[in-house]
């Protein structure tokens, strides 16, 4: 999947534009906040073509502010990683010195650049937008991120410029992506699995530019292992390793079936790890959490496995039905248990429940615990079925679907999990008009 970066100086409306794109189409998964301020990740599509969207922080050249200096590095990384760039400016301010600095930076990238002139929300401002031709970009679009005018033409041309990603070989095999923060033990985990006697059939280039698929065939398991740690070297990685780890995780997650989320138990299940977790959940991927370096946790009496697991589940509420495996890659403790669990999660994600069995189990539960009445109207659910999607999703047909609220949807999801094993897999529940 291609990556599109939205860049520009502060206060030109990048975030408003980003929010409009990720909310306006049904195929969109959601936005995930980044680890530093003013950065978000989302997934959008236009005319049937999906792409990842990155809203970078405002670029400010030469600032002494530590946050702004950090954001500048991340903007440069986003430009380096993106397939196309939306350069946003503000017609109210006109061409500023900072716009010229950003334009200079973008011209060096040799990526497709789309100049979005924001706040052109009236005919009187169209002429004002003409001065932006001085920045030297051919693709120039007048739009308003507040009301959405002009965004269609921009997106039409944008998706035409995005490259078509080829599907990897052996696409019928499960794809497990090993993701997590830097230095959490991802590379060591993969090396421990492969071992000295390498049971590798072939190394093939993945659908993303930075990850390598290793076909793994050992102990009765066969799958493609996506190594996000073994990426090509980049000069800028040292400047912001945390940001780059999220960038490569975005790509790996979108093209896998199950993510193996590795984190350092001595550092804790922090915000960076949570962001990757929620990104996978919003993309409807299977998830296995590995607490690595458990052998290095000193005070195991006060931090028992049970207490630590309870803490993690509190951080990932309400999606708590996720397997957590405590491992030590150094000693190879439970690493094969981790793979067994990942295979089980993949099977859960691929599971199809017969319609007759689903109705036989769920309809009596719904009859005993119906949706609460709303405005003196009662919801009657008569039929349910699993939808033909790559991940578990279910449709419940009723007379008044608009009156079914989120708490009842969670109740239905929990009952599905109780009766059918969907551990580690997000479930989507729809209520539709009969």
Q: Residue 67's pLDDT band (boundaries 50, 70, 90)?
A: very low
> Do the beta carbons of residue 6 and residue 53 sit within 8 Å?
yes
Element (H, E) at 263: strand 258-264
> Contacts from 30-34 at CB under 8 Å and sequence distance 24+?
30/282, 32/275, 32/278, 32/279, 32/282, 33/275, 34/243, 34/246, 34/275
Looking at residue 164, its pLDDT comes to 74
How confident is the model over 303-312, as a mean pLDDT? Answer: 83
Distant-in-sequence, close-in-space partners of 345: CB < 8 Å, separation ≥ 6: 258, 286, 287, 288, 323, 423, 424, 425
Contact 273, 243 (CB under 8 A): no
Compute the mean pLDDT over every residue in the chain, rounded to the nearest whole number. 78
Give the global pTM. 0.63
Query: Residue 424 is encoded by which pair of tokens?
Result: 């580690």
pLDDT at 32: 46
Rounded Cα–Cα distance for residues 44 and 131 (Å): 31
Average pLDDT rounded to a whole number, residues 81-87: 87
pLDDT-derived band of residue 23, with 50, 70 and 90 as boundaries? low
Given this model, what pLDDT does residue 356 score? 94
User: How far is 228 from 212, CA to CA, in rounded Å?
Assistant: 7
Q: What pLDDT does 202 receive? A: 33
Q: What is the pLDDT of residues 239-287, one digit of tens each?
A: 444 555 556 667 678 778 999 999 888 888 887 788 788 888 888 899 9
Q: What would the pLDDT profile of 200-251 be if each residue is shown by its tens digit?
A: 333 333 333 344 566 767 667 777 777 665 333 344 444 444 555 556 667 6
- Judging by DSSP bridges, how do beta strands 49-55 and 212-218 pair with one another? unpaired
For residue 1, pLDDT over 50 is answered with: yes
Name the band, by pLDDT with cuts 50, 70 and 90, for residue 385. Answer: very high
Residue 383 to residue 368: CA distance in whole angstroms: 15
């Amino acid at each position: 999947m291609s990556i599109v970066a939205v860049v520009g100086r502060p206060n030109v409306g990048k975030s408003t534009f980003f929010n409009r794109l990720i909310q306006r189409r049904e195929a969109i998964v959601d936005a995930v906040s980044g680890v530093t301020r003013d950065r978000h990740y989302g997934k959008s599509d236009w005319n049937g073509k999906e792409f990842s969207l990155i809203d970078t922080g405002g670029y400010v050249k030469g600032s002494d502010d530590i946050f702004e200096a950090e954001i500048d590095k991340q903007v440069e990384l986003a430009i380096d990683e993106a397939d196309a760039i939306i350069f946003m400016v503000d017609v109210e301010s006109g061409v500023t010195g900072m716009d010229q600095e950003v334009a200079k930076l973008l011209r060096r990238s040799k990526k497709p650049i789309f100049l979005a002139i924001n706040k052109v929300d009236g005919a009187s401002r169209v002429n004002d937008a003409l001065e932006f031709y001085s920045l030297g970009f051919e693709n120039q679009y007048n739009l308003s991120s507040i009301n959405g005018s002009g965004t269609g033409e921009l997106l039409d041309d944008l998706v035409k410029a995005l490259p078509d990603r080829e599907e990897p070989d052996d696409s019928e095999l499960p794809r497990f992506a090993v993701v997590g923060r830097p230095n959490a033990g991802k590379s060591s985990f993969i090396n421990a699995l492969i071992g000295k006697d390498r049971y590798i059939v072939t190394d093939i280039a993945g659908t993303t530019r930075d990850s390598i698929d290793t076909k793994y065939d050992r102990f009765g398991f066969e799958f493609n292992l996506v190594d996000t740690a073994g990426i090509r070297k980049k000069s800028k990685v040292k400047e912001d390793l945390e940001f780059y780890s999220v960038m490569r995780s975005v790509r790996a997650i979108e093209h896998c079936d199950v993510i193996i989320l590795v984190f350092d138990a001595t550092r804790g299940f922090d915000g960076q790890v949570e962001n990757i977790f929620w990104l996978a959940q919003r993309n409807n991927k299977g998830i296995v959490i590995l607490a690595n370096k458990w052998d290095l946790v000193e005070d195991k009496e006060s931090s028992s496995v049970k207490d630590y697991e309870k803490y993690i589940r509190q951080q990932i509420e309400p999606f708590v039905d996720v397997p957590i495996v405590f491992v030590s890659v150094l000693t190879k403790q439970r690493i094969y248990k981790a793979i067994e669990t990942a295979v089980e999660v993949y099977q859960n994600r691929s599971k199809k429940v017969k319609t007759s069995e689903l109705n036989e189990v769920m309809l009596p539960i719904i009859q005993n615990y119906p949706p609460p009445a709303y405005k003196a109207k009662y919801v009657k659910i008569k039929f349910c079925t699993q939808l033909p999607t790559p991940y578990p999703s279910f449709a419940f047909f009723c007379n008044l679907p608009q009156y079914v609220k989120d708490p009842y949807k969670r109740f239905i999801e929990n009952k599905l999990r109780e009766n059918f094993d969907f551990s580690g897999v997000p479930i989507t529940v729809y209520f539709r008009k009969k």
